[in-house]
Amino acid sequence: MEPTTKTETLDIEGMTCASCAAAVEKSLSRAPGVQSALVNFATEKATVQYLPGQASPATLKEAVVNAGYSVTERPPDTSAAERSAETDRQKALAYQKLKRRFWVAVGLVVVIMPLSMLMLWPAMMQRVNVQWLNYLLLLLTLPVLGYSGREFYVSAWNGFKHRSANMDTLIAVGTGAAFFYSLAATVVPGFFTSRGLMPEVYYDTTATIIALILLGKVMELRAKTQTSAAMRSLIGLQAKTARVVRPGGAEVDVPIEQVQLGDIVVVRPGEKVATDGRITEGQSSLNEAMLTGESLPVEKQTGDSVFGATLNKTGSFRFEVTKVGADTMLSQIVKLVEDAQGSRAPIQRLADKVSAIFVPTVVVIAILTFVLWFDLAPVDTRLPLALVNFVAVLIIACPCALGLATPTAIMVSTGKGAEHGVLIRNAEALEKAYQVNTVLLDKTGTITKGEPAVTDFVAPGQDGPRLLQLVAAVERQSEHPLAEAVVRHADDQGADKLTATGFRAVEGKGAAATVDGQAVLIGNRRLLTDEGVTLSPELTAQAEQLLSQAKTLLYVAVAGQAVGLVGVADTVRDTSVAAIKKLQALGIEVVMMTGDNPQTAAQVAGQVGITRYFAEVLPADKAGKVKELQGEGRIVAMVGDGINDAPALAQADIGLAIGSGTDVAMEAAGITLMRSDLNGVVTAIELSRQTIRTIKQNLFFAFVYNTLGIPIAAGLLYPFFGILLSPMLAAGAMALSSVSVLTNSLRLRSFDNH
Partner 1 sequence: MDTTAIIVTIVGLGLVAFVLWYFFFSARQAASAVSSSSGVQEVAITVKGGYSPDIIEVEKGKPVQLSFYRNEENSCSEELLMPDFSIRRDLPAFKTTLVELLPEKAGTFPFTCGMGMLRGSLVVK
* CA–CA distance, 517 with 528 (Å, rounded to integer): 19
Q: Which of residues 711-750 bind partner 1 (CB under 8 A)?
A: none
Shortest distance (Å) from residue 294 CB to Cu ion? 42
Contact partner, 276, from Cu ion, partner 1, none, Cβ < 5-8 Å per class: none
Nearer Cβ to partner 1 (38/326): 38
Nearer Cβ to partner 1 (86/496): 86
496 binding partner 1? (CB under 8 A):
no
Contact partner, 254, from partner 1, Cu ion, none, Cβ < 5-8 Å per class: none
Among residues 77, 86, 496, 538, the one that binds partner 1 under rule CB under 8 A: 86
Shortest distance (Å) from residue 414 CB to Cu ion? 25
Closest CA to 233 of 415, 406, 500, 75: 415
Shortest distance (Å) from residue 154 CB to partner 1? 7
Closest CA to 484 of 502, 472, 493: 472
Inter-residue contact 304 to 278 (CB < 8 Å): yes
Shortest distance (Å) from residue 109 CB to partner 1? 21
Nearer Cβ to Cu ion (216/523): 216
Shortest distance (Å) from residue 409 CB to partner 1? 14
Shortest distance (Å) from residue 152 CB to Cu ion? 10
Shortest distance (Å) from residue 88 CB to partner 1? 10
Inter-residue contact 27 to 15 (CB < 8 Å): no
* CA–CA distance, 726 with 288 (Å, rounded to integer): 56
Nearer Cβ to partner 1 (414/753): 414
Cβ burial 202-230 (10 Å sphere, 16+ → b, else e): bbbbbbbbbbbbbbbbbbbeebbebbbeb
Q: Is residue 127 classed exposed, middle or buried when 0-12, 13-18 and 19+ CB atoms within 10 A define those classes?
A: exposed
* CA–CA distance, 26 with 629 (Å, rounded to integer): 67
Shortest distance (Å) from residue 10 CB to partner 1? 14
Would you please indicate which residues are annotated as catalytic (active-site) residues? 442
* Strand blocks (E) in 671-735: 671-673
Q: Which helix (H) or strand (E) holds 407?
A: helix 399-419
Q: Which of residues 418-437 bind partner 1 (CB under 8 A)?
A: 426
Nearer Cβ to Cu ion (15/170): 170
Inter-residue contact 725 to 396 (CB < 8 Å): yes
- What would the DSSP string read from start to end of 177-202? HHHHHHHHHHH-HHHHHTTT------
Cβ burial 681-717 (10 Å sphere, 16+ → b, else e): bbbbbbbbbbbbebbebbbebbbebbeebbbbbbbbe
Contact partner, 754, from Cu ion, partner 1, none, Cβ < 5-8 Å per class: none
Nearer Cβ to partner 1 (121/180): 180
Nearer Cβ to partner 1 (350/547): 350
Three-class DSSP category at 634: coil
* CA–CA distance, 489 with 672 (Å, rounded to integer): 31
Contact partner, 44, from Cu ion, partner 1, none, Cβ < 5-8 Å per class: partner 1
Shortest distance (Å) from residue 226 CB to Cu ion? 19
Closest CA to 648 of 446, 384, 399, 405: 446
Of how many residues is the chain composed?
A: 754
Stretch touching partner 1 by CB under 8 A, among 283-291, 398-406, 677-685, 718-726: 398-406
- What would the DSSP string read from start to end of 362-403? HHHHHHHHHHHHHHHS-TTTHHHHHHHHHHHHHHH--HHHHH
Shortest distance (Å) from residue 137 CB to partner 1? 27
Site string for partner 1, 187-226 (x = CB under 8 A): ------------------------------x---x-----
Q: Which of residues 281-340 bind partner 1 (CB under 8 A)?
A: 338-340
Contact partner, 529, from partner 1, Cu ion, none, Cβ < 5-8 Å per class: none
Inter-residue contact 264 to 318 (CB < 8 Å): yes
Which positions lie near Cu ion, rule CB under 5 A? 167, 398, 400
381 binding partner 1? (CB under 8 A):
no
Shortest distance (Å) from residue 345 CB to partner 1? 9
Nearer Cβ to partner 1 (352/752): 352
* CA–CA distance, 288 with 158 (Å, rounded to integer): 49
Nearer Cβ to partner 1 (356/704): 356
Q: Which of residues 19-58 bind partner 1 (CB under 8 A)?
A: 38, 40-44
Q: Which of residues 137-176 bind partner 1 (CB under 8 A)?
A: 151, 154-168
Among residues 332, 355, 493, 552, the one that binds partner 1 under rule CB under 8 A: 355
Contact partner, 359, from partner 1, Cu ion, none, Cβ < 5-8 Å per class: partner 1
619 binding partner 1? (CB under 8 A):
no
**What Cα–Cα distance (Å) separates residue 302 from each residue in 280, 286, 297, 299, 711?**
5, 13, 16, 11, 71
* CA–CA distance, 265 with 273 (Å, rounded to integer): 9
Nearer Cβ to Cu ion (219/398): 398
368 binding partner 1? (CB under 8 A):
yes
Nearer Cβ to Cu ion (25/220): 220
Q: Please give the backbone phi and psi of residue 43, each rounded to the nearest 5 degrees, phi first.
A: -90, -5
How many residues touch partner 1 under the rule CB under 8 A: the total is: 61
Contact partner, 412, from partner 1, Cu ion, none, Cβ < 5-8 Å per class: none
Inter-residue contact 130 to 165 (CB < 8 Å): no
Q: For the sheet containing 311-312, what is the strand order?
A: 298-300, 284-287, 311-312
Closest CA to 482 of 542, 519, 527: 527
Q: Which of residues 509-548 bind partner 1 (CB under 8 A)?
A: none
Site string for partner 1, 331-350 (x = CB under 8 A): -------xxxxxxx------
Three-class DSSP category at 276: strand
**How, if at all, do strands 589-593 and 612-614 pair?**
parallel
Q: Please give the backbone phi and psi of residue 337, each rounded to the nearest 5 degrees, phi first.
A: -65, -40
The residue ranges that bind partner 1 (CB under 8 A) are: 38, 40-44, 86-87, 90, 94, 98, 151, 154-168, 217, 221, 338-344, 351-352, 355-357, 359-360, 363-364, 367-368, 370-371, 374-375, 379, 382, 386, 399-400, 402-404, 407, 426
